[in-house]
Each structure stands twice: as C-alpha cells, then as structure tokens.
C-alpha cells in the first residue's frame, strides 16, 4: 500500500480554509484559538447588524402588539426612507421583509397596509381542524342525506364477492382495467372521448394535478394560469418549482389576447384552466373561447391541464377541451364533490403518449389508489349512483345559491346559479382581511382572495363556500357575512 498524505486545514483571517503549512506562527495561534473558543460574543461584536433590521423589528413589534392596528396605512416608501434616514431601496426592503412575515400587504395605487394577523396562517388554502362552534365556509364538502347508507350497502355487496383477498394486494398503478373502463364510460357521458387505456385512477383531483405536473413539466417551466385560480394548483407549482404566469381575467374567462402575447414572448409549457365552472369565479366559458384557447395551445405546443372538479354542476356546458384537443389535454376530475370528499377517488384522461409518464408518477407518489376505494367507486359509476348524486347535488347547489342571492340582495356577488361557490368583490376602502377576521370572531370562517391570487396585486374580495353546512346554518352564517360586508363597505 502507498503512503497516505493527510493535510490539516485551518481558517485564515479571511475565513477561507488554508493548509496548516501556509500559516505563520502567530496566525496559526490566532486561528487555533478562534476555533477552540466557546465564547462567540467577540465574533458577534465584529458582525454589525444592518440598521434597517432595527426598523423591521420595531414595526413588526408594533403590528404584533396591535399598536399599529390592522388596516393602518403605513408611510410610503419615500416617506419611510426620509423618516428613518434610509435609502429608498432599503426602505422598500423593510416592507418586503414585513410582507414576507405576513404582517403587511402592498397594494398598487393604494399603498402599504397592516394586515389582519388574527386569521390563522393558510386560511382558505390549508384545512385546519375547525372549532366545534365554527361555521366553515372555506371548504366545500357537499353531502346529501342517506349517503352513509349507500356506503353500508356497498360494503355489504363487496364483502359477498368472491376474490375479496385481491383487494389486499398491490394494484396496477393506474387502476385495474375494468375500473378504468368504468371511469371511461362515465367520462364519455360527460363529453370526454376517453378509453380505458387513456384513463388513470388517482387519489383525488389534487393528486391528479400533482402527478400531471411531475410527469409533464420540469422545474422552472412556465405555466399560464388565471389571475384568480385554484389554490391547490398553486401549491403543486410551488412544490415542483414551476413558474406561474398570470393571465388577466375578463367576465367571459381568461384574456386570450394576453395569453397569446405571453406565449409569443415566453417559452410557456402549459396552461392550467377550469373552463367549466371556474373556482372561484364560477364562469363557464363559451365554445368560441374554448376554440380560441385550443388554437393558441396548438400554435405554441402547450399542454392543456383541464380541471373539471366542479364541471358536473354545470348542465349544458360546451364541449370539454379534452374533446376539442385530445392530443394536448390532460383532463383531471374527481368524485370528491359529486359523491364524497373522503372517498379520495379521482381520474385523469390523457393523451396516449402521456399515459406512461403519469403512470410512473403515480407509482412514485402512492403506488396505487386503495383497491377498496376503487372497487366501490367503479361500482357506483356503473350502477348509476354517481349520476343520481350529481343530479341531486345540482338541485342542492341551486337551492343554496338561491338562499345566498336572497341574503346578499344589493351586494355584488359573482357565481354560477348551480355552483357551491360565491365570490364577493369589495368596493371602496373595504378590506378583505378585516372582514374575514371580524367574521372569525363571530365563528364564521371565510376566505380572502389571497389563496386564489396568482398576481402580486391581490384584490379585496371574499370567497364563500356554501356546500358544507345545513341550509338553516348556512342562512344564518350568510346573514352575518352580508352584515359585516355592508358595514365595511359603508365605512
């Protein structure tokens, strides 16, 4: 064996590691002493703290202690710079750090305001365990009477089948062929030209969106998305380091002129869209708009990710994008809203070339959707249970929208007549965070626009989910929402 040479490294005065032989005696002694010392105070004294940090800490303390109340308008960047003797760029950095802490929000044309800190972090995006007396109008979990009996009957039927042990084994990643066939038949009834070999079963639409992103996109890819959109896809994009490029919205859907200009100047890889019953705005885009979107996608080679989670609620909608451009579109949907949120049964219909990629992503995330769930769901798809529940839930959503429109008379409300979602744009000086905080004090939880916004400028609006509580409870809660909105709008 050859001789091994070990070189001992020590820190030089500049902080870089140097071989011991490169240090003279005094330097070696100083370096050795600095490495052995357990007292860091001398080192800390040599690291002066940036002065602007003191301004950040002081303002943060004033906000957290309520010395600066929610909604307080802070000095402009120039005023803060002059008051504190800072450069303008440094003053902007103060507000940027406070915004990163969730303590302030900057609004174009209005200024910088103290945010309401009473609201739990992630309100409207993360589902917190609700207090017993809290009316949750953040999330939709539509359920009808008698669904528990449906489950009991399904479990009894399943227990009497022959090869029950097969459900305890690993399943094909995209689902068993006969179950994929049940999904394909369901999709064809909804206008999607699906076949079993182009269908994959996933654990809900959120999982479907995640595996689609894993399969088809790379970190850094640009994805076009509505300026207001589903928070779950924002979370997918963040997890996979995708860049979201906001598309302005119009009353008819996304601004397709803006989309075309974006694609002409950036290398956009995909568009995420909800053409049939948008969350949170409730629009159903026209066939003309859909054809224009498909034309742009074909011209620039975009993947289309079509989220149809709420599409079952909109009868008579134009053809899905998956029917207009099957070679480009990944169609993602679920039984969470039409049947039950706890079922965690979703499905993806994709171009043939994308199926193996998505299947591999399923393997990497869940391996397969639990066989017990897929067996029950596929039976319900084939025996008409899902179709009957969809019809009943359209009627249920229509009743709830009717109640809401009655309660909110005189207030501008955006929403589809058979949707489980209401969007309330605020006017004047009304602030969504203050309205949401005041309602939280009254044990009603609603969402602001923040979880849904893909732009830096977040509009002031309140989003209300009307599908999770009994009608009597819903009416009382909506009355509280309407009262608080009216009070703040008048202010």
The CA–CA distances, whole Å, from 377 to 154, 159, 323, 347, 370 equal 9, 15, 24, 11, 11
pLDDT of residue 317: 97
pLDDT of residue 138: 93
Instruction: Record the pTM.
Output: 0.80
pLDDT computed for residue 125 by the predictor: 57
Domains of the chain (ranges, CATH numbers): 9-45 (no CATH), 52-114 (1.10.10.10), 135-140+388-490 (3.90.1150.10), 162-383 (3.40.640.10)
Residues of the chain with pLDDT under 70: 1-49, 118-132, 491
β-partners of residue 250 are: 253
User: How high is the pLDDT of residue 8?
Assistant: 43
pLDDT for residue 381: 98
Q: Among residues 235, 223, 320, which one has the least CA distance to residue 272?
A: 223
Residue 21 confidence (pLDDT): 40
What digits encode the pLDDT tens for the residues 326-362?
A: 999 999 999 999 999 999 999 999 999 999 999 999 9
pLDDT in tens, 104-133: 888 777 788 888 776 665 555 565 555 668
- Contact between 27 and 18 under an 8 Å Cβ cutoff? The reply is no
Q: What is the pLDDT at residue 347? A: 98
**Sign of the C-alpha dihedral computed for residues 194, 197, 203 and 209 taken in this order:** negative
Exposure string (b/e) for 249-281, b if CB count within 10 Å is 16 or more?
beeebbbbebbbebbeeeebbbbbbbbbbbbbb
DSSP-derived pairing of the beta strands 303-307 and 329-334: parallel
């Amino acid at each position: 064996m050859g001789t091994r040479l070990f070189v001992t490294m020590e820190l030089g005065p500049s902080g870089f590691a140097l071989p011991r032989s490169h240090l003279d005696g005094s330097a070696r002694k100083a370096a050795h002493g600095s490495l052995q010392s357990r007292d860091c105070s001398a080192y800390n004294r040599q690291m002066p703290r940036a002065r602007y940090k003191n301004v950040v800490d002081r303002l943060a303390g004033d906000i957290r202690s309520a010395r600066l109340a929610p909604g307080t308008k802070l000095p402009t960047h120039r005023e803060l710079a002059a008051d504190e003797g800072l450069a303008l760029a440094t003053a902007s950095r103060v507000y940027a750090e406070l915004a990163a802490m969730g303590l302030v929000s900057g609004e174009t044309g209005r200024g910088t305001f103290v945010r309401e800190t009473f609201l739990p972090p992630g309100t409207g995006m993360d589902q917190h365990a609700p207090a017993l007396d809290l009316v949750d109008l953040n999330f939709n979990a539509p359920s009808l009477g008698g669904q528990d009996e449906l489950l009991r009957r399904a479990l009894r039927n399943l227990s009497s089948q022959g090869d029950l042990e097969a459900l305890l084994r690993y399943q094909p990643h995209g689902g068993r062929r006969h179950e994929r066939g049940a999904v394909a038949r369901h999709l064809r009834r909804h206008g999607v030209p699906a076949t079993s070999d182009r269908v994959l079963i996933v654990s809900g639409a959120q999982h479907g969106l995640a595996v689609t992103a894993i399969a088809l996109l790379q970190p850094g890819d640009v994805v076009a998305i509505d300026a207001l959109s589903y928070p779950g896809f924002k979370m997918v994009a963040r997890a996979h380091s995708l860049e979201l490029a906001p598309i302005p919205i119009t009353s008819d859907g996304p601004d397709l002129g803006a989309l075309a200009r974006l694609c002409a100047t950036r290398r956009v890889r995909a568009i995420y869209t909800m053409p049939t019953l948008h969350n949170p705005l409730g629009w159903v885009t026209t066939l003309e708009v859909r054809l224009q979107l498909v034309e742009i996608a074909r011209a620039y080679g975009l993947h289309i990710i079509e989220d149809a989670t709420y599409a079952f609620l909109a009868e008579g909608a134009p053809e899905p994008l998956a029917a207009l451009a099957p070679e480009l579109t990944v169609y993602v949907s679920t039984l969470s809203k039409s049947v039950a949120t706890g079922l965690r049964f979703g499905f993806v219909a994709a171009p043939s070339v994308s199926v193996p990629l998505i299947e591999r992503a399923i393997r990497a995330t869940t391996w397969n959707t639990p066989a017990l769930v897929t067996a029950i769901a596929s039976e319900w798809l084939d025996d008409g249970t899902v179709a009957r529940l969809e019809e009943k839930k359209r009627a249920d959503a229509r009743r709830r929208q009717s109640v809401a429109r009655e309660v909110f008379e005189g207030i501008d409300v955006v929403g589809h007549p058979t949707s489980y979602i209401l969007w309330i744009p605020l006017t004047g000086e009304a602030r969504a965070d203050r309205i949401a905080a005041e309602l939280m004090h009254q044990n009603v939880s609603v969402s602001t626009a923040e979880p849904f916004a893909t732009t830096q400028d977040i509009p002031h609006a309140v989003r209300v989910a009307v599908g999770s509580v009994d009608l009597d409870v819903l009416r009382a809660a909506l009355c509280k929402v309407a009262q608080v909105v009216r009070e703040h709008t008048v202010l």
